[in-house]
Amino acid sequence: MRQAYWIFATLLSHWRRHPLNLATLMVGLAIATALWSGVQALNQQARASYDRAAAVFGEAGLASIVSARGAFVAQDAYVALRRAGWKVSPVLEGSVRIGAASYRLIGVEPLTVPRGSPVSGLATGGELEAFLRAPGQTLAAPETLGELGVAEGATPSTDKGKALPPLVRDGTVAPGLLVVDIGAAQDILGRPGQLSRLIVDGDAAQPDAAALAAVAGDALRLEAAAEGGDLARLTDSFHLNLTAFGLLAFIVGLFIVHASIGLAFEQRLGTLRTMRAVGVPLRLLMAALVAEMVLAALLAGAVGMVCGYFIAAALLPDVAASLDGLYGAHVSGQLAIAPRWWASGLGMALAGALAASALSLAKVARLPVLSVAKPLAWREAQQVQLRRQGAFAVFCLVVALLAYVAGHGLIAGFVVIAGVLLGAALLLPLALSGLLSAGEGTAKQALAQWFWADTRQQLSGLSLALMALLLALSANVGVGTMVEGFRKTFTGWLDERLNAEIYFDAASAADGARIAAWLARQPQVSAVLPVWRAETRIKGWPVDVYGTRDHATYRVHFSLLSELPGAWDKVRDGEGVLVSEQLARRMGLGLGSTLAIPTGDAVWEAPVVGLYPDYGNPKGQVRVNVDHLVRHWPDARRTSYSLRTAPEQAEALIGTMQAQFGASLARVVDQASLKAASTRIFEKTFAVTGALNTLTLVVSGIALFASLLALTGLRLAQLAPVWALGVPRRRLADLEIGKLLVLAAITAVLAVPLGLVLAWCLVAIVNVQAFGWRLPFHVFPLQWVVILALALVTALLAAVIPVARLGRTAPQDLLRVFANER
């Protein structure tokens, strides 16, 4: 034990003598852990909210029985199943609008709801009676009560004029969710005798399709459990993208760790040999090195976790706003951290540290006690390493190509990106070496020749940091191109889509009809266009069906990606529907395909006559003629309208409408405000991406700084002879800065095409797989200039302190280089 203690203490003594090396190692580990764990905290926070929403039915992951023909299950079928001994519980779901906000309303039956549900406790408590008997109760999260601006006991009304049972605060219910008795839900949602689905009790024996058919014929079908419910599925891609960014930042951080550990290994080579020579067993030495790394990972990881918490807390408002705007998901703004977050974060720090030190540990394991008798010349050794690296780079690129050709899904998309990025990063030293050789060939003066040759020699020490810089810069180019492209497309698309001057929601369908009739009589209004909506599910996926009137507003401005001849006529006549791009991709639909749309109690089989872009919408969407919408969905929400009027009269008209209809008008907004709100959601979404992007670049800057700092001491041997030959220290410092700027500039120039490849992968593969829509590909050359400047500034900032140290190196320190030569 004492033996192990002294070995460990001796290894640790290195860090005491090299505090900067220790600092870069710890900073690298902490940053990598912080960015990764920050992103994970955000994901965990959001998923916890989804789970709370799904937990109304007890433990997530319960199977359901749904209608095989329509969107709803008849209550009679539920009764028949219960009589046949099935342990099922009825659920009715829908959304209600209260004021300007939408809420998810769920009706449950507390006596049969599976165990684990917040409402199952009512079955044994005295509150059961209060929940079931008139006026009943509405269970809601404290956040929801706050949002509604009401206290417990309030009975707010929906847009259809239905009052909710008195509100009761319940911390176990997810924000944005209202839980009522099934009977109350049927009344509020206007669906008497109808159920959304039947939850199968997880404790009961699981039924099979044949048993179900024996009781209910072909009217019902079994649906497998979905983790976390709709929200979890809809937001999966959002979180996967966030995770991918966190992973990229983590890997860039590990470059710092790898550089620090590599340097420490080089500096301790003599010590390790000496330790072995005086009898330290290899196994014990290896164990001590691993223990040292574990200690560093735990300490730096813990610091990183704390930083990650603050990063997550800073980004949470934007993430919550994006999730709310894009998916209608209510995520609590108070960051709550689960113990497994700590465990997984520290686990990542540990795994990352060991991965980054694997190469050095392997070298120690093979370290001969005696120094190698015939060391390869530096140039030869570097060439061998470059050749190996090149071969691995080609392997990565081949894997990326195979994933592109043969792979499917989002994971394959990320494999393509990872393969391309890693392959390109590994090829960077080869490319730099070639370019520097070319520079050396053109140099005429001795100092210029030395400049190029010495820059090339520095490559091996700086290549890891430069690779990290390349990754960060190309991520900036790639993500920047995608975001700018999205912004450009999205803005143009919004202009086309939101071309009515005013949009309003009435408090109820009757109010809507009254307001529409009044508007139709106003001379300044050229058209009152209903935008009515019904909700359904196609193959388990939530889909909104919009009904609009045939009008030039749509025929002229509503752009379609592709259409059959006379598409708008067919929609008007009920002979076809328009389908959003993501729904078409998900269902494999093309022009002329038949889409089976479950209505209230049947299935409407409609031909697809056109496809249209619907950027940013996680749900599927179908556009039909409003008359057909009402025919198939008599209970469709008939409260939304758009108005055409002269733009300059919009503001006055809104004022008149508000004065005329007061509370009957739930929401009225002009075109500019609606566009601004949509753009705000977009900006919030990409604010998170932008923040992670910037942090990744900062991390790569630190990697460069760490490498330069580490190399400062080692550079003396190269610089001292040049100084001795008469080049002043100041000039040497300038040349050092010049070398780094040359390397950074070349790296930045190479990052542009790599970034464009990354952008193409994001646009053509990841976006399509993740969200179901494809953006047009745009390039933004001004961004490239910014990136080049950013690279040079990063390199300059990273070089200032190390080069200043070199410039201030005392002559006696430079002379020591010669004193040590023997």
Partner 1 sequence: MTVIDRTERSDRAADAAPLLRVSGVRKSYATPQGALAVLKGVDLTLAAGESLALLGESGSGKSTLLHLIGGLDDADAGEIVLDGVRVTGMPDAERAALRREKIGIVFQQFNLVPSLTVADNLAFQARIAGRFDAAWQDELMRRLGLAALAGRYPEQLSGGQQQRVAIGRALAVKPRLLLADEPTGNLDAATGDEVLGLALDLIRRTGCGFLMVTHSTRLAARLDRQVMLASGVLVTP
Please give the angle made by the CA atoms of 336, 340 and 343, to the nearest 5 degrees. Answer: 120
d(CA 600, CA 406): 40
Closest to 361 in 3D by CA, of 460, 425, 292, 278: 292
Nearer to partner 1, 284 or 669 (CB): 284
What φ, ψ does residue 592 adopt, rounded to 5°?
90, -15
The CB-of-788 to partner 1 minimum distance in angstroms stands at 42
Nearer to partner 1, 74 or 282 (CB): 282
Alpha helix locations (H) across 368-508?
378-406, 409-442, 446-497
Nearer to partner 1, 276 or 778 (CB): 276
The CB-of-712 to partner 1 minimum distance in angstroms stands at 16
DSSP 8-state assignment for residue 762: I
The CB-of-279 to partner 1 minimum distance in angstroms stands at 2
The CB-of-388 to partner 1 minimum distance in angstroms stands at 21
Would you say 727 and 447 are in contact if contact means Cβ atoms under 8 Å apart? yes
Nearer to partner 1, 408 or 822 (CB): 822
At 531, is the secondary structure helix, strand, or coil? coil
Nearer to partner 1, 10 or 562 (CB): 10
Nearer to partner 1, 3 or 594 (CB): 3
Nearer to partner 1, 151 or 278 (CB): 278
The CB-of-261 to partner 1 minimum distance in angstroms stands at 16
CA dihedral over 117, 118, 119, 125, signed as positive or negative: positive
The CB-of-282 to partner 1 minimum distance in angstroms stands at 6
Nearer to partner 1, 276 or 557 (CB): 276
Nearer to partner 1, 265 or 705 (CB): 265
The DSSP annotation for 91-139 comes to EEEEEEEETTEEEEEEEE-TTTSPTTSGGGGGGTSTHHHHHHSTT--EE
Residues 6+ apart with CB under 8 A from 311: 34, 35, 38, 695
Binding region for partner 1 (CB under 8 A): 2-3, 6-7, 10, 13-14, 16-18, 270-271, 273-283, 369-370, 373, 822
The CB-of-485 to partner 1 minimum distance in angstroms stands at 53
Nearer to partner 1, 16 or 83 (CB): 16
Residues 6+ apart with CB under 8 A from 14: 264, 267, 268, 271
* Burial (CB count within 10 angstroms: exposed 0-12, middle 13-18, buried 19+), residue 401: middle
Please tell me the total number of residues recorded for the chain in this structure.
822
The CB-of-375 to partner 1 minimum distance in angstroms stands at 14
Strands 502-506 and 577-580: unpaired
Q: Which helix (H) or strand (E) holds 215?
A: helix 209-216
The CB-of-387 to partner 1 minimum distance in angstroms stands at 20
Alpha carbon distances (Å) from 744 to 430, 477, 787, 805: 15, 15, 11, 20
Alpha helix locations (H) across 725-807?
729-761, 767-771, 781-807
Nearer to partner 1, 373 or 663 (CB): 373
The CB-of-391 to partner 1 minimum distance in angstroms stands at 25
Write out 448-461 in H/E/C secondary structure: HHHHHHHHHHHHHH
The CB-of-263 to partner 1 minimum distance in angstroms stands at 14
Alpha helix locations (H) across 278-377?
282-327, 339-365
The DSSP annotation for 140-200 comes to E-HHHHHHHT--TT---B-TTSPBPPPEEE-TTSPTTEEEEEHHHHHHHTT-TTEESEEEE
d(CA 130, CA 398): 66
d(CA 547, CA 698): 49
Torsion of CA 735, 740, 744, 745, to 10 degrees: 10
The CB-of-385 to partner 1 minimum distance in angstroms stands at 21
Nearer to partner 1, 444 or 822 (CB): 822
The CB-of-295 to partner 1 minimum distance in angstroms stands at 17
At 701, is the secondary structure helix, strand, or coil? helix
Nearer to partner 1, 7 or 483 (CB): 7
The CB-of-28 to partner 1 minimum distance in angstroms stands at 21
Strands 594-598 and 64-67: unpaired
